[in-house]
Amino acid sequence: MTVKSGNILVIVLISSRRVSATVAWLHGEQGEKVVAHKFIDCLWHELSDRGRFHTVADVVKLACESAGVEAYSAYIACSDPGIQSQLALGYADLGQDMVLTAGDRDQALVRARHHAIPEDRTLLHALPVHWTVRSRQGEREVTDPIGQRGSRITSHVLLVTAPKDYSDRLAALLDQCGLHCDGVIAPPVALWHGIAGKLKSRGSTLIIDCGARHTALIVHRKNQCIHVETHAFGGDTLSAAIAAELGIPFDQAEDLKREVDLSAQGPGNDLEGQQYLWRDVQERHRLIAPAARICSGLLRAFFGARARDLREREFLGQQGQVNLVGRGSALGGLALCLRDLFDLPVVLGTGQRDRDPSAELVDLIISGIVRTAADGRREELAGHGSGLGTAARGMWAWLVKPLE
């Protein structure tokens, strides 16, 4: 099958423990299809600049060779604690009642995108949350303003931003690999695209992705993403605290962390004073109780603050649930801890009994970044006056091409 160059997507995803590259075909009617996905396990934060360049270049080469294409450009996503969001308004004022068009909708979106953003931030995504249309009959909320009749359209848009140098750093990394940067994707937005179709539309859903070095919180309501925040807090935070307080190596603390059970740290369950009968091979059991206390204290302080903040800002209500994904879902008792703090039922992953939440996250994030990249490519092609059913021209002719 011949695939036009403009309809080929290459996406690089960088996390704390893995760098992956995905190649997908973009089809006008059938959506997107992943044709190759390769990854390299590494400790990204410990790599030198040269090591990072070689890792990205190698994983892109592996994926492209598997798909039978040669990449000249790529989208890129990278975990970062500086990714945040804010709500903004945009409008298009027509002056009199008339049928609203795609141009009117786009004008409102453009004005929302140009909402005042601090100078030290850069815009990554603008996600419409809901629309209102004003007419002679009054103002009403609509799902899609196109085709509605009114004199003014207002867009309520979630602006996802990152530190000013975030996009520049990632674009420079691709440039070192000889790749043009098609766009930068925020991993929390990709995760939301991947999991949104599996969430309940009733109430508010809080998606928590607790990884090794970063934790992302995403609020989903009425099938829309209404809030995103990330923090420099994760499994490594717990391991470092265990190592420091108990005076043991980091690797030993990492192993010990996997054995703790936070549910044993509730009221009246302080096990630190209990006596253990142990031999040399049972040394770790003596440390489990204090390790659990350390983890419980840090997690309750961190997520307790998040719960209070989200409720004060009215992102969470009395109905809804928490979906826990990522490496943190394997921590014993964390789901019970979150249920207590957020006062909402907690679901591991998407709730599929036969899926491990950590492994399921990989599938969710891959489908999400492909969807996000596809939306970006469609928007670019539309802006160049080109449809998916016609040959790509201009810049797309050289960005990606099939190997002969």
Is pLDDT at 278 greater than 70 in this prediction? no
* 121/42 same-domain check: no
Cβ count near 36 (within 10 Å): 17
Q: Same structural domain for residues 236 and 376?
A: no
Domain count, the chain: 3
Show which of 146, 163, 180 is a domain's final residue.
Answer: 163
Residues 14-22, mean pLDDT to the nearest whole number: 94
Task: Report the predicted TM-score, pTM, of the whole model to 2 decimal places.
Answer: 0.86
In whole angstroms, what is the distance from residue 331 CA to residue 274 CA? Answer: 22
Domain check: are 224 and 340 in the same one?
Answer: yes
pLDDT at res. 352 = 77
Can you tell me the distance from the alpha carbon of 373 to that of 265, in angstroms, rounded to the nearest whole number?
43
Alpha-helical segments (H) within 2-67 = 49-67
pLDDT at residue 384 in the model: 60
pLDDT at position 222 is: 87
Do residues 262 and 312 both lie within one domain?
yes
pLDDT at 184 over 70: yes
Write out the H or E segment, with its range, that includes residue 249: none
Tokens linked to 267? 């009221």
| Position 182 in a domain | no
Question: Are both 309 and 238 inside the same structural domain?
Answer: yes
Same domain assignment for residues 334 and 366: no
| 92 shares a domain with 76 | no
**CATH code for position 16:** 3.30.420
* CATH number, domain containing residue 96: 3.30.1490.110
Is 189 within the bounds of a domain?
A: no
10 Å Cβ neighbour count for 81? Answer: 17
Residues 286, 226 within the same domain = yes
The answer, yes or no, to whether residue 276 has pLDDT greater than 60, is no
Residue 305 reports pLDDT greater than 90: yes
Contact 77, 14 (CB under 8 A): yes
pLDDT, one tens digit per residue, over 324-382 is: 998 888 888 899 999 999 999 999 988 777 777 777 888 899 999 999 999 988 888 77
Q: How confident is the model at residue 393 (pLDDT cuts 50, 70, 90)?
A: very low
Q: For residue 213, what pLDDT band results from cuts at 50, 70 and 90?
A: very high
What is the residue-wise DSSP string for 376-399? HHHHHHHHTT--TTS---TTHHHH
Q: For residue 80, give the DSSP letter.
A: -
Give residue 301's domain range. 200-349
93 and 76, same domain (yes or no): no
